[in-house]
Every structure is written in structure tokens, then in C-alpha cells.
Amino acid sequence: MAKSNLLLNNPFAKAPIVRLQGQPVLLFTEQHNSLLQALEAKKVTIFSECRSGFCGACKTRIISGSVSYLTEPLAELKADECLPCCCIPSEDLELDLSPEGAAVVTYPRSNTLAQTPSTRKTANLKAVPQQEVVED
């Protein structure tokens, strides 16, 4: 199935959120050609040799969620693994990659019980870039 069909088939479908070890890092949209390209744009440290002809180097463990492949993977994968170079998330996705160095959204710990529901929504969310990120 083509990438545009997966992401744009339903105009009300939300773009998948990609998390790294629990930290939200990116919202995957049709501007990304592959999961690997999106992760690299966010300065996520991921080893890949795909462009050098070695398939399987970017193999990554999926903690939760699923992916759809744009091309058939050449490397053998376990059920909980993906090749980011040739796939896109088909739903919210959490990967076993370090969020260190990437721009992530953090949630400061505070006593939310003392807040009213209306102030809780905005008081707990704070974007904290760990590194300047330039998106294409």
C-alpha cells in the first residue's frame, strides 16, 4: 500500500506519534519519506548503513505500535523489530532508541492534585528541546 494511502486515506486520522523509550519525539507526516529519514531529521542517534548497501544495520526494536513497509525488507526481522529505512509508522509507535540528543517533549513532575482540571492541561506541558533541530 502506498504511503499516501496509509496516511491520507482518512482525512480525520491523526498522524502517528513516534516515541523513543517513552519520550515523544516526532509526529510522522507525509513530508517524511521513511521512518529513518524522520528520525535523522530529529537528530536521533541511529546506526544505518542502508545508503552503503548493507541492509539490516538500522534494525530497531519496536516496544509498541506497528509499521508498514514501503519496500520489502531484505534483512530478516523478528516480530518486534523494524527497518526504519524502508517503513513508516501505521499507528503510534514506540521504539527502543535513546531520546538523548533529540528534541523531545517533557512533562515536569509536579503536584497535579492541587491544580484544577482547567489549569492542569496547560501547567504540566512544557517543550524542552535538548538540542536545536532544523526540520526540512
Inter-residue contact 102 to 94 (CB < 8 Å): no
What does the pLDDT read at residue 127? 46
In a domain, 47, yes or no: yes
Residue 57 cell numbers, joined: 544495520
pLDDT class for 123, splitting at 50, 70, 90?
very low
Reported as a pLDDT band with limits 50, 70 and 90, residue 97 is very high
Greater model confidence, 124 or 31: 31
Give how many domains the chain has, as a whole number: 1
**Domain containing residue 82: CATH number:** 3.10.20.30
Strands 93-95 and 60-64, by their bridges, are: antiparallel
Residue 1 lies in a domain: no
The Cβ of residue 62 has, within 10 Å, a number of other Cβ atoms equal to 19
Residue 83 belongs to a domain: yes
Q: Are 73 and 83 a contacting pair, CB within 8 Å?
A: yes
Q: Rounded to an integer, what distance in angstroms lies between the CA atom of residue 100 and that of residue 44?
A: 7
- Please, what's the b/e burial string for 81-115 (b: 16 or more CB within 10 A of its CB; e: otherwise)? bbbbbbbbbbebbbbebebeebbbeeeeeeeeeee
pLDDT at position 93, please? Answer: 97
In a domain, 79, yes or no: yes
* pLDDT exceeds 70 at position 125: no
Taking only the tens place, the pLDDT of each residue in 19-78 is 999 999 999 988 889 999 999 999 999 988 877 878 889 999 999 999 999 999 889 999
Distance CA 41, CA 102 (A): 9
Confidence of residue 95 (pLDDT cuts 50, 70, 90): very high
Amino acid at 57: A
What is the C-alpha separation between 111 and 65, in angstroms, rounded? Answer: 31
User: Does residue 123 fall inside a structural domain?
Assistant: no
Residue 129 in any domain: the answer is no
Q: Which domain holds residue 52?
A: 15-93
Beta pairing, strands 67-69 & 87-89: antiparallel
Residue 48 in any domain: the answer is yes
33 located within any domain? yes
